[in-house]
Amino acid sequence: MTTELATFGAGCFWGVEEAFRNVPGVVSTSVGYTGGTTENPTYEDVCGKKTGHAEVVQIVFDPAKITYEQLLNIFWECHDPTTLNRQGPDVGSQYRSAIFYHSPNQQKIAEHSKAVLAKSGLHALPIVTEIVPAQAYWQAEDYHQQYFAKRGGGSCHL
């Protein structure tokens, strides 16, 4: 099986991971940090707003079973891409809406998907989602992995 990576920031990573975890074609998910300057940051470091990292979900997927476009559709639906550096009550750049692409093809698909969404009229405000190259990914502490699954369910505010 050939797999690919997708990395999305869409607010609190607990709920974002849950949105993708059981989707057919998704091989695995993990939550972590990317997009900043600090190596091997902790949750406390990221919440301290000094690292520049976003809370993200990294997805290993089988492109023969689910496309990157389909993953993007889930990404757009699981958060509000019009709020800058916040999702619901969570405020800070670590909660920013971001697509971290792993190839030029992913970049092209993401930019097209964002443009289609912006023209759709679904959102009254502009889409503020960043589309940037993937950087070093630092997996979050174990207690953050599959947070809701370990606690018998739940969801974030959106």
Q: Is residue 78 within 8 Å of residue 99, measured between CB atoms?
A: no
12, 47, 78, 156: the active-site residue: 12
Nearest by Cα to 129 from 141, 117, 139, 120: 117
Amino acid, single-letter form, for residue 76: W
**Alpha carbon distance 110, 40 (integer Å):** 27
> Angle, nearest 10°, between helix axes 104-120 and 68-77?
40
47 in active site: no
Q: What is the DSSP string of 89-139?
A: TEESGGG-EEEEESSHHHHHHHHHHHHHHHHHTS-SSPP--EEEE----EE
Q: How far apart are CA 158 and CA 148, in angstroms?
A: 14
Helix axes of 68-77 and 13-21: crossing angle, nearest 10 degrees: 130
Residues designated catalytic: 12
